[in-house]
A and B are shown apart, each in its own frame.
Chain A
Amino acid sequence: MNEKLYLEDEENLGTQTEENYEQVYCRPNTLTDVPFHYCPGCGHSVVHKVLMEVVEEIGIQEEIIGVAPVGCSVFAYHYMNIDMQEAAHGRASAVATGIKRVLPEKYVFSYQGDGDLAAIGTAETIHTVNRGENILMVFINNGIYGMTGGQMAPTTLPGMVTSTSPYGRDVSMVGNPIKIADLLCLLPGAYYVTRQAVHNPNAVRKLKKAFMKAFEYQKQKKGTCFIEVVSNCPSGWKMTPVETIKYLEEKMFPAYPLGDLKVPKN
């Protein structure tokens, strides 16, 4: 076999390819060249990447507007090479509502963490879905406030140690984790609600399909699509990225089971 296949290319510190090989996967052009500021192994970057792959594949880069939250993904607009608007903490879905109503022909999505969407922004979240706003809401559930130093979130698991629950989350004091996606299913405005992940290649493929569906439904003006991604926070959880994958599988997924929660009736 040709050694060139895996030898180091000094200029690129990468690997060289055989000339006749065809490229089957590359970074989407809808991402800017700015390197992500996220911590190593953070799920936010994977979700950005998958979302932008879908935007590129269905060719809606010029027709989509995103709304960024307050949280670690506050700079989402540095990376996603599309029109974007920053919202105040928790208000992304309200801002997305306004944008969609003024520009109904555009695809509109909001992107929020759990502290943003399920704590300070709970009211906006519930009412946006209740109104059945024709937008996609992307919800990154990493069970913690990442940006501000790993404080307990409404989604933090019972017993989970955070900087504001140093002895573990005490449900007798602060209640149980809130399953916001399950709650939203009860509202007639919710058209498609699903819970996905990015912890392995298959999960990434499934998330991509979910984004595809959501944009198709938005095109058909069906109502609110809500995609939760159960993600990690290596820094907040004080684990290596590889350890967070194990924690996701052993602790997070039993509490937040993956799969579709509400699918359109035919």
Chain B
Amino acid sequence: MVKGTIKIDAKICKGCELCIIACPQNALALSPNFNDKGYRYVELISNVCTGCANCALVCPEAGITVYREPKPAKKPQVKVE
């Protein structure tokens, strides 16, 4: 499985939970804490994130940045002469 992670801008998150239902890995949940605007923001709660970006695509606040483990470099092809 590809490994990934996300960064959530908790200051602008409005706790709409749309990312939570979009995440195929169930890796997101509302924090018990509130941000300055009074919303419970979303947090990554496990390390099963694959960096699929589903959460970021549906986030209305454009507040999620997604990172992915780089694909392993392809083996150089050896030409047989």
Taking beta carbons and an 8 Å cutoff, which residues of A are in contact with B?
Answer: 1-3, 5-6, 8, 12-18, 20-28, 31, 35-36, 38-46, 49, 198-201, 204-205, 234, 240-242, 245
Contacts and interface: CB of A to CB of B under 8 A. Distances in A.
A124 B56 CA distance: 36
B5 A17 contact: yes
Contact of B60 (A12, A14, A17, A46): A46
16 contacts: A5-B44, A5-B47, A5-B49, A6-B5, A14-B7, A18-B69, A20-B70, A22-B67, A25-B57, A25-B66, A39-B14, A41-B17, A42-B60, A46-B60, A49-B60, A241-B17
Interface in B64-78: 64-70
Q: Which DSSP category, helix, strand, loop or mixed, fits chain B's interface?
A: loop
B69 to A, nearest CB: 6
Interface residues of B, number: 44
Contacts of B8: 14-15
Contacts of B10: 12-14
Given A5-B49, A41-B60, A204-B58, 20 more contacts: A1-B3, A1-B47, A2-B47, A12-B10, A15-B6, A17-B5, A21-B5, A21-B69, A22-B68, A23-B67, A24-B4, A24-B53, A24-B66, A35-B11, A41-B17, A46-B58, A46-B60, A49-B62, A198-B58, A201-B57
Interface of B: 3-12, 14-18, 21-22, 35, 39, 41, 43-47, 49, 51, 53-54, 56-70
Nearest to A3: B47
A43 B60 CA distance: 7
Contacts of B62: 27-28, 31, 45, 49
B21 A245 contact: yes
Contacts of A26: 56, 65-66
Contact of A38 (B17, B44, B60): B60
